[in-house]
Amino acid sequence: AAQAPPPPEPIPAPKGKRASLQVALESYERVDQHGPGSEYRPHRCTDCSCCFLFLAAIASFVMITLYAHEHGDTRKLHHGLDFHGNICGVDASVADKPFLYWCPDSPEDDPGIGERIDISEAAAAPP
């Protein structure tokens, strides 16, 4: 039977200096980290109550969204509402007016402040 060859000789470190990895490996002791007297404990879930609360919050958001979709009018999210509460371009009284225009109170005011009315064509930008 043939014998296994001997392990290779380690590469010597430069004189006066030792490689840090070699020093670390020589000083390393294999210790059972979960043995008696160890500060380590087996892993376990520590935030089960928070996980339950998170899932409950997600479920409530889903329920609110479903209720709003069934009992509300989602067109109000992407169509304008005039000052009478009509949905621009949808309600019968303003079906031919799909755009919403915010009337400024004065020329110095922003166009986003004031009364809102339905219009049939897009308004030109102010000069």
DSSP helix/strand/coil, 111: coil
pLDDT at 64: 96
- Is the pLDDT at 51 greater than 80, yes or no? yes
pLDDT tens string 52-109: 999 999 999 999 999 999 998 888 887 878 778 888 888 888 888 877 776 666 656 5
Distances (CA, A) of 87 to 15, 36, 81, 104: 87, 72, 5, 20
Residue 94, burial from CB neighbour count under 10 angstroms (0-12, 13-18, 19+): buried
- Nearest Cα to Cα of residue 75 among 55, 58, 100, 50: 100
Question: What is residue 76's predicted lDDT score, i.e. its pLDDT?
Answer: 80
Mean per-residue pLDDT over the chain, rounded: 74
